[in-house]
């Protein structure tokens, strides 16, 4: 089955890194995956998105059109991409950064930025979100995402990133159990 995922936010939040790590993790899980970062003149503060297609079959068309899962970390990204989300799709948001309008389907919320700040560095917000995404969707195994995160981040921040991932993942599992 083909699953389309979109991560959206503003430049500097690590949206592209998130997509790259998630894509890499799919490789460790031995699944077919294509990752396409948004690519444009946007600098820090502009819109950024990561697009991932996961499938057990060969992936032909590489782009995301109507995501099954949309992860948004800014109001702008929410307003831009939420209308594209499939009707039965899942919306994942940073609840401090996105104010929902009416008529949402399934939503999973996490104060990812706040959690990251409490861990000591706001820069790991994306990893908190990635952990949450992994726990909520179970599309990627925990071992694979952990391996991909630790391989990507600088050596001296491994511990912090691991904590961020675990905190997000834990909350994702909790959300699932509810």
Cα-Cα end-to-end distance for the chain: 26
Q: If binding is defined by CB under 8 A, does position 62 make contact with other proteins?
A: yes
**Site size for other proteins, by CB under 8 A?**
19
How big is the chain, counted in residues? 178
> Whose CA is closest to 3, among 35, 48, 37, 47?
35
Q: Which residues contact 79 (CB under 8 A, 6 or more apart)?
A: none
Choice from 37, 141, 142, 173 touching other proteins (CB under 8 A) = 37
Q: If binding is defined by CB under 8 A, does position 11 make contact with other proteins?
A: no
Half-sphere exposure of 158 (CA within 13 A, CB side): 8
What totals of helices (H) and strands (E) does the chain contain, helices first? 6, 6
Q: CB of residue 49 vs other proteins: minimum separation in angstroms?
A: 13
Segment 154-173, which members bind other proteins (CB under 8 A)? none
Q: CB of residue 75 vs other proteins: minimum separation in angstroms?
A: 24
Choice from 12, 45, 65, 105 touching other proteins (CB under 8 A) = 65
Q: CB of residue 52 vs other proteins: minimum separation in angstroms?
A: 9
Cβ proximity to other proteins, 65 vs 118, nearer residue: 65
Q: CB of residue 111 vs other proteins: minimum separation in angstroms?
A: 30
Q: Which residues contact 88 (CB under 8 A, 6 or more apart)?
A: 105, 106
């Amino acid at each position: 089955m083909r699953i389309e995922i979109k991560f959206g936010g503003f430049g500097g939040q690590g949206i592209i890194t998130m997509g790259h790590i998630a894509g890499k993790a799919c490789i460790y899980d031995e699944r077919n995956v294509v990752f396409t970062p948004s690519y444009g003149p946007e600098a820090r503060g502009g819109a950024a998105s990561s697009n991932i297609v996961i499938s057990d079959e060969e992936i032909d068309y590489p782009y995301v059109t109507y995501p099954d899962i949309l992860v948004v970390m800014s109001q702008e990204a929410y307003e831009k991409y939420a209308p594209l989300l499939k009707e039965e799709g899942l919306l994942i948001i940073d609840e401090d950064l996105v104010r929902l309008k009416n008529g949402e389907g399934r939503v999973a919320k996490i104060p990812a930025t706040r959690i990251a700040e409490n861990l000591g560095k706001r820069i790991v917000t994306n990893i908190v979100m990635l952990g949450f995404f992994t726990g909520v969707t179970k599309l990627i195994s925990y071992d694979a995402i952990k391996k991909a995160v630790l391989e990507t981040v600088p050596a001296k921040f491994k511990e912090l990133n691991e904590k961020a991932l675990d905190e997000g993942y834990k909350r994702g599992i909790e959300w699932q159990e509810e």
